[in-house]
Chains A and B, each alone.
Chain A
Amino acid sequence: DAKTTQPPSMDCAEGRAANLPCNHSTISGNEYVYWYRQIHSQGPQYIIHGLKNNETNEMASLIITEDRKSSTLILPHATLRDTAVYYCIVRGAGTALIFGKGTTLSVSS
């Protein structure tokens, strides 16, 4: 069973920041938060992951609350190509990566 809760859908205007929330209130101390996305008809794409510190890479930023019970994925300047299903996954080392239903992000011009 997925250990995360995400809104089923979100909309974002092109050029604006997209902030995707994720709740993971039962996360354990050794579990990481991973984000993937799946663009229509393609395999999932890794975006970013973190343990407790905020992380940033060329694709996105990950903000994890101090109690680690929730996180937010930030796409700073969304484009039409960012329209996809975004998955927030909690995973411990050496365990299976289980996908939930994710958030369908629709970016419009």
Chain B
Amino acid sequence: GAGVSQSPSNKVTEKGKDVELRCDPISGHTALYWYRQRLGQGLEFLIYFQGNSAPDKSGLPSDRFSAERTGESVSTLTIQRTQQEDSAVYLCASSLERGNGYTFGSGTRLTVV
């Protein structure tokens, strides 16, 4: 597709359940980011994939959070044993390695009840 695609667009889950969020980057983009944005807050960096390099996981808030990316394609962000504080919009962005800028998806709105 022409843009970054994220699914699902909305997810409501019960506290304690695991969730998996998906990001399909723009074809050919080697760099991929995940961010979290809580209501009324700024963007919080979570993880950064750059080609075949080891990902920068410095933003992951706890070991309940993990992300994978297969090559330069789809990425999944997994949150285990969700908590209400995990409620947020999770945004994915991708870019060419030295591209002009990052293209963001529309995000997945996660609500933990």
Assess the B104–A96 pair: CB atoms within 8 A. Answer: no
The reply to whether B101 and A96 form a contact with Cβ atoms under 8 Å apart is no
- Residue in A47, A87, A94 with the greatest tally of chain B CB atoms within 10 Å: A94
Cα–Cα, bound, A34→B101 (Å): 8
Answer whether residue A101 sits at the interface, using C-beta atoms and an 8 A cutoff: yes
How many Cβ-Cβ contacts under 8 Å join chain A to chain B? Answer: 49
Interface 9-mer from A16-24, A38-46, A74-82:
A38-46
Q: Which residues 85-106 in B have Cβ within 8 Å of A in the complex?
A: 91, 93, 97-98, 100-106
A39 to chain B, nearest CB (A): 11
Contact status A97-B33, CB under 8 Å = yes
Q: Are A43 and B101 in contact (CB under 8 A)?
A: no
Knowing A44-B43, A102-B42 touch, does A94 contact B50 (C-beta < 8 A)? yes
Q: Are A101 and B102 in contact (CB under 8 A)?
A: no
Interface size on B, residues (CB 8 A): 23
Interface size on A, residues (CB 8 A): 21
Contact of A42 among B97, B100, B106 (CB under 8 A): B106
Question: In the complex where A43-B107, A102-B42 touch, is A97 in contact with B102 (Cβ < 8 A)?
Answer: yes
Contact between chains at B98 and A93 (CB < 8 Å): yes
Q: B residues within 8 Å of A by Cβ? A: 33, 35, 42-43, 45, 48, 50, 53, 56, 58-59, 91, 93, 97-98, 100-107
Sample of 4 further A-B pairs with CB below 8 A, known A96-B58, A99-B45:
A34-B101, A36-B101, A97-B102, A102-B42
A-B contact pairs, 21 of them (CB 8 A): A36-B102, A38-B43, A43-B93, A43-B106, A43-B107, A44-B43, A44-B91, A44-B93, A44-B102, A46-B100, A46-B101, A46-B102, A93-B98, A94-B97, A96-B33, A96-B58, A97-B48, A97-B93, A98-B45, A99-B42, A99-B43
Q: Could you list which residues of chain A lie within 8 angstroms of chain B, going by C-beta atoms?
A: 34, 36, 38, 42-47, 49, 87, 93-102
